[in-house]
Structure 1
């Protein structure tokens, strides 16, 4: 009730003045610095890089002006809205007083007994119906004032959210989008919303939870055995899990699709699968004990993608694999005890991908594998191998090539369409 709301319009004027000063700097920058890259006196790779960077700097000067103007507009909108809401609160207080109530400085409503004559006070004390009527009236006026106070509080929170949202770079012109001149993902917000009624609270485009984003299990133990039947593999499984936690998420940022997986496991496991059918033959046995962790991030834009993966293992493991069928040919074996880490990364474009793996080892062991298989979910073929020895190399390296027929077909169609457009 005592806040000087005029400070909001005074601040808005300062922000408008700031936008004017930024415009002067932008003009001066364009006529002096950026101008160097726009003539014919400088050419080559360095000129191209400078042209991009100088254009990006001028973009930020322009974006800063838009942001400053938006903040000024939001502050003026806040002044108008809060002034109106405070006027309504004052009116509600005056109406309550006119109706025979008192309103404290903290906004508490009570019946004004001071206005009653001695006879009226005596009658009130001996009239239960009159007392109930007064209580109802007090509650009604209290709610009326509380609602007015809440409206002011809600508006104040909305102004705060709008101001915080205005200063976050939306990146609509980054990474080839829009004008493509934005080279900073955390620069000024050229698209700041200056209309308080349209402004919304900014929600960071962090990874969005999918269905069952986090799962935690354990402790658990079990033993199962199944024989070969109806074309299915036989299996033996023994496990004692201390814990197993998995978290998944996905979202978007500046036109990029992001996804991530985190997985942590501790325990003992031993499995064996074996079988032979018209589809092929397979055999796999492995045992491990220790702690494992995995974190993988994937970034996609159209038919292009990149991924990175980090893994860690402390314990012991041994395995052997051999598989031969129409959709997979794999052979491999490994034996290791100690601590090792894995760093992997790769890129994909138009249905073709390549990734590399590097593993530093601290312990004893060896590993070798090679093969190709078809991914059941995506239909892509993956060809790769990995080899390493602790004593000889201190780790392992690997390579994986991905071929996605579906994406290759789409890419070929897009290229053919583009070529057709050129001829047209």
Structure 2
């Protein structure tokens, strides 16, 4: 969740310091438990009086337990260090935002609940001074200057808020990595992380995007993994930002994503995949000048998906595969300048689906089909615009008393691609006309 101005200004960061102390205390205690376990359990049973297969099995698990105690100490102390760094960094950046707002207000700029600055200095003038101002020959330019300077304060505040959000995301990455065990020691994957890093500057860095070039092909890729982990969040209402409120809770067993692409001139191959296991639930609602939106959903189980796309100039084809096992339910409704969304679903069991389609010059048509094993029903009608400016129409309906499925349609209209295709076609026609003209001229 991206932090906004209201989140930054109202956040209480003091608990981070208290929680850090608690994690450090827990880490020290895990170290004591490791010592006690090795001394009073592991070594006592290994005095030579007990032999055989049962003894060998017990010692194997005892060694794994001792390793996990040590790993638990390393993980807890790393988390304690990260929380201390987080408290220091986030407090510094939050203060920078508040100082900027205070500076703006001291210079007669009012900052609203969304971080927008407005000049109010002229409001302090007397009636006589206001009359003189309105009849000043430079009145229009003064108003323009006031708006431009207010926008400068607004942009500066937004930049400072973004710095807090980026630091918050860094803390999130660092904590996820510190509590994710990807080694085979101890009980194996999913135990405590003996290699946890407690330096926020190192552990919080974004995953590097790999780029390689072989011959005419350029490749790029990125991946991320996290879990297990639990968390909750709730915000709102924030009337200034048009947010009525939102809440989210999750208990993740694991999450992983990967994406990559190969490009060679006009040809591009791209794909990505993701997988999730755990439980999550959320609900949100808001009303802004761009529309009204509300949604709620819950899921428990596992799901995975992969998709790929191939483009050659204005022509492209795509495919997608999805699967899930578990239970899910949700509903959403919204309308605004970005489109209309309406839908609802409820399902328990397992399902798998395929989708595919093609587009030419910015207009695409495709279809989806799913097979269900378990009771459920869904219906949706989405007409929306994505961040690239393309419009999508995706009606879908499904029903399953025990065995069944769903079918859907996907229609995409991308004005940007249509314009590019038209421009390329015009250039080609111009070149062709030139060739014809040159040919005719050569005859004479």
Q: How does the TM-score come out when normalised to structure 1?
A: 0.49
Structure index of larger Rg: 1
Q: How does the TM-score come out when normalised to structure 2?
A: 0.47
